[in-house]
Structures are given as structure tokens and as C-alpha cells.
């Protein structure tokens, strides 16, 4: 029976979240923010302190380390990966975590002064953690459990394996990345240097989650060019780019948006809009699990632009679409036994596996296409990227145990 020290795990997690490591999508450097170096250097030191070998950090802050095999027979080299940056979507500095022991299953007042409440009716999944220890924010920041929970679990699991050589395992590689939250976590990840046959990202949410399918993803930027004329003398002269943009928005399918879709349903998501009479810009993300439907979504947007340019007098509309990542299922299914190992590990630990598609992406999606098949496992957190983020301590302990059990089962194959 595994005996994870939950107090030490909590202490480690709380130390990590105190370090502001927010990434920045507007930056063109790697890492995108200098402040990510603080936690990167700390993690390198910790990996060395707990006894891992070949600990490296490169010029772009990618960290790798090795736990050597302790068996004589040949075992696949496996890896565990998490990202240490946090989302730029909400404040991530001066985090004041709150520890709620023996959670009663009801609402949690995060901030009495500002009347910020984590509602158990709105966030119903929280009720399953009644009686457990929940870690929340104070309602003014995010928690950074995405993905400092995953980082904590991997380091804690490696430390446990170092201290318990009776648990047999093959060679294990550890990887920590910057800039995952802005879609660049795998861009400079050296798969050949990492040297694992396959790996697992610890970046999921609810306990039991096991994912090897994700969206195909693209971004679309549309520019609508107009003509500005004094409004008092604008008849038959002014072309208002904002009205053209509005027409485009109105033509797209109304129900194929994030707030009206679930499971395998794809969507078009208008993520930002800026406009003047002369120029309006729309930024979309396009998502679909099915490759054919994904391609059809991109083509639909192009077709709408072509039709508007042809049918509307003085229309001047351009569109640029860039693919971001693809569904890892194509790369994982041929060696689906790596999913089975994780599933069996959970079952042996009394965890009910929840196999479902990711409605998003992880480093694992890009890594799978770079030659490192990489399913995603729960790290325990909920409500990422905002003030209602929380993580049950017990889920973090279980995620740590899953890592250890996967290592053990891999050595028995």
C-alpha cells in the first residue's frame, strides 16, 4: 500500500503557487515571460535534491530529468510531463490559498468582503468531494492548480520511488515545460533528447479522467476594411467595417459555439473583436474532434468570406487560418496499450477511470505528432483559469499514486 505524505505534498504545492509564472501570448520569446524562470530554476534544484539524474534545463527553460531503472530486464522508457506556466486569463500573482478541511458539501465563501462564493449548485461536481480537503483561492486570483498540481504530483511520485526501491520500475523521464497555456508548450520540446517511448501529461481535471482524444484546432483572423467619411456627408460614401463584421458573425451557425456544445461537438468561438469604421478584426478559434468536420469548418469560413466579397458592394474582407494542433487519437490508438496501463493503474487504486475526449488541448497533443504518444491523466483541479479554481488534496494524492502505479505496471509488461 502506498503511503503518500499528504502534508508534504500540500506544502510543496502551496510553495509552487506562490510563484507567479504566468505566460504571455503577446510575447515572441521562449519562455514568454522572464518570471517563469523563477519556478523553472526551483524545479531543477528540487529534482536534483530528491535524487534524480541527468537533470537539465535548456536556454528556453525546458526541464528534463531521469529516474534510472531499478530492474535488470528491459523495460520501455516512459515519461511524465507537466507545464509550470499559468494562464494569462486571470490574475496569477499574490495568490492567497484557503484550505477547507472536511468540506461539508455546500457553498464555500471565498471572499466575504467582496461577496464571492463558490456555489455548489452552479459547480455541482464539487459535491462529490464532501468530507475531503479542498484548496481554493480567496476569490481575487486563480489558484494555479493548472498545472502546478501536475508538477507537484510528478515530483512527489519521483521522490517516493527514489525512497522506496522495493517498487520496481524501468527508466522514467520527467519533463516540465513553459508556455503551455498559450499553446507553445511543446514547440521547443526535444523529443529525441527526452528519449521516452511514450509519456503521460498530468494535466487533466476531475479524479479519474483519462484522455487520449482532443480537438483538432485552428485560429482564424478576419479583417474587414471600410471607408471612413464624415457622418454628415457619408451617404453612398461611408463603408462601415463593423457592420460587415456583424454580417459575418450572423451567418455562422448560431448553435455551434462553446456555450451550446459538449462532448464531441465542435464549434466556432469568437475570442476577440476590435473595430473602427476603417478596420474591424475578428479572432476566432475553430475546434472539432473529427478531422473531416474540422476541415469543413475552416472551408465554411472561407466560403462565407468569398461570398460576402462577391455579393456586397465595396466589401474588402480577408481571412487567415492557421492550424494549431491535431487530435492525438490518431497517434495513440496504434499503441493503445499505454492507455490501458493507465486505466488499469487507476482500477488497482480504486479509482473509476473516466475516459472522455478533451475539449481542448494539452502539450500531449503536439507531442504525439512529434513522435511522443502522450495521453492525459487527471491532476485533480477544477474551474481552471479563474477565481473559482479549486483542487481536492485527496485527488492530488491519488494522481501521485497513479504515476507510481503506472511505473510499476510498465515494469511488469
- Per-residue pLDDT, averaged over 114-131, amounts to 96
- Per-residue pLDDT, averaged over 83-99, amounts to 96
- Per-residue pLDDT, averaged over 33-41, amounts to 98
Q: How confident is the model at residue 332, as a pLDDT?
A: 95
Rounded to the nearest integer, the mean pLDDT of the chain is: 96
∠119-120-124 over CA atoms, to 5°? 125
Q: How confident is the model at residue 221, as a pLDDT?
A: 97
Q: How confident is the model at residue 1, as a pLDDT?
A: 81
Give the integer Cα–Cα distance in Å for 177 and 366. 13
CATH for 216-325 is 3.30.70.360
Binned at pLDDT 50, 70 and 90, residue 45 comes out as very high
- Per-residue pLDDT, averaged over 147-160, amounts to 98
Q: How confident is the model at residue 367, as a pLDDT?
A: 95
**Whether residue 93 has pLDDT greater than 90:** yes
Using one digit for the tens of pLDDT, what is the confidence trace for 185-219?
999 999 999 999 999 999 999 999 999 999 999 99
pTM attached to this predicted model:
0.89
Q: How confident is the model at residue 409, as a pLDDT?
A: 97
Q: How confident is the model at residue 312, as a pLDDT?
A: 87
Q: How confident is the model at residue 24, as a pLDDT?
A: 95
Domain 6-214+327-412 class in CATH: alpha beta
- Per-residue pLDDT, averaged over 277-284, amounts to 97
Binned at pLDDT 50, 70 and 90, residue 261 comes out as very high
Query: b vs e for 275-312, b when ≥16 Cβ sit within 10 Å of the residue's Cβ?
Result: bebebbebebbbbbbeeeebeebbebbeebbeebeeee
Is the Cα dihedral 361, 45, 42, 40 positive or negative? negative
Q: How confident is the model at residue 183, as a pLDDT?
A: 84
Question: Which residues participate in catalysis according to the annotation?
Answer: 85, 180
**Whether residue 336 has pLDDT greater than 80:** yes
β-strands 78-83, 172-177 pairing: parallel
- Per-residue pLDDT, averaged over 261-287, amounts to 96
Q: How confident is the model at residue 402, as a pLDDT?
A: 98
**Whether residue 163 has pLDDT greater than 90:** yes
Bond preceding residue 33 cis, omega within 30 of 0: no
Residues 156 and 9: beta-carbon distance below 8 Å: yes
In which residue ranges of the chain is CATH 3.30.70.360 found?
Answer: 216-325
Give the integer Cα–Cα distance in Å for 329 and 332. 5
Q: Which residue reads 473529427 in cell numbers? A: 290
- Per-residue pLDDT, averaged over 19-48, amounts to 97
**Whether residue 361 has pLDDT greater than 80:** no
Binned at pLDDT 50, 70 and 90, residue 331 comes out as very high
- Per-residue pLDDT, averaged over 85-104, amounts to 96
Q: Residue 409: enclosing H or E segment and its boundaries?
A: helix 393-412
In which residue ranges of the chain is CATH 3.40.630.10 found?
Answer: 6-214+327-412
CB atoms within 10 A of CB 340: 12
Amino acid at each position: 500500500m502506498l503511503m503518500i505524505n499528504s502534508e508534504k505534498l500540500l506544502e510543496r504545492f502551496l510553495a509552487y503557487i506562490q510563484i507567479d509564472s504566468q505566460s504571455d501570448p503577446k510575447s515572441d520569446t521562449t519562455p514568454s515571460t522572464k518570471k517563469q524562470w523563477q519556478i523553472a530554476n526551483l524545479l531543477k534544484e528540487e529534482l536534483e535534491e530528491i535524487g534524480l539524474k541527468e537533470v537539465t534545463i535548456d536556454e528556453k527553460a525546458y526541464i528534463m530529468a531521469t529516474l534510472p531503472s531499478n530492474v535488470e530486464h528491459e523495460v520501455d522508457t516512459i515519461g511524465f510531463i507537466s507545464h509550470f506556466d499559468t494562464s494569462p486569463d486571470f490574475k496569477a500573482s499574490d495568490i492567497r490559498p484557503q484550505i477547507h478541511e472536511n468540506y461539508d458539501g455546500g457553498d464555500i465563501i471565498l471572499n466575504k468582503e467582496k461577496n464571492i462564493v463558490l456555489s455548489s449548485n452552479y459547480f455541482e461536481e464539487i459535491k462529490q468531494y464532501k468530507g475531503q480537503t479542498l484548496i481554493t483561492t480567496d476569490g481575487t486570483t486563480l489558484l494555479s492548480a493548472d498545472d502546478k498540481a501536475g508538477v507537484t504530483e510528478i515530483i512527489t511520485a519521483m521522490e517516493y520511488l527514489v525512497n522506496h526501491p522495493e517498487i520496481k520500475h524501468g527508466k522514467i523521464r520527467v519533463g516540465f515545460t513553459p508556455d503551455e497555456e498559450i499553446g507553445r508548450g511543446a514547440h521547443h520540446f526535444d523529443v529525441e533528447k527526452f528519449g521516452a517511448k511514450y509519456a503521460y501529461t498530468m494535466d487533466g481535471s476531475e479524479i479519474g479522467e483519462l484522455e487520449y482524444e482532443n480537438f483538432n484546432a485552428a485560429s482564424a483572423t478576419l479583417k474587414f476594411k471600410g471607408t471612413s467619411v464624415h457622418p454628415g456627408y457619408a451617404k453612398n460614401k461611408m463603408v462601415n467595417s463593423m457592420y460587415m463584421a456583424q454580417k459575418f458573425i450572423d451567418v455562422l451557425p448560431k448553435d455551434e459555439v462553446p456555450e451550446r456544445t459538449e462532448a464531441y461537438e465542435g464549434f466556432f468561438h469568437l475570442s476577440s473583436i476590435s473595430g473602427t469604421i476603417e478596420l474591424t478584426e475578428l479572432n476566432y478559434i475553430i475546434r472539432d474532434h473529427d478531422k473531416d468536420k474540422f476541415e469543413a469548418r475552416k472551408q465554411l469560413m472561407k466560403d462565407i468570406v468569398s461570398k460576402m466579397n462577391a455579393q456586397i458592394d465595396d466589401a474588402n474582407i480577408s481571412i487567415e487560418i492557421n492550424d494549431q494542433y491535431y487530435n492525438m487519437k490518431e497517434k495513440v490508438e496504434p499503441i493503445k496499450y499505454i492507455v490501458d496501463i493507465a486505466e488499469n493503474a487507476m482500477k488497482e487504486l480504486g479509482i473509476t477511470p473516466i475516459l472522455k475526449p478533451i475539449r481542448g488541448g494539452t502539450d500531449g497533443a503536439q507531442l504525439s505528432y512529434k513522435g511522443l504518444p502522450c495521453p492525459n491523466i487527471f491532476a485533480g483541479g477544477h474551474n481552471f483559469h479563474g477565481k473559482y479554481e479549486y483542487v481536492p488534496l485527496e485527488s492530488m494524492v491519488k494522481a501521485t499514486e497513479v504515476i507510481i502505479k503506472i511505473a510499476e505496471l510498465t515494469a511488469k509488461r
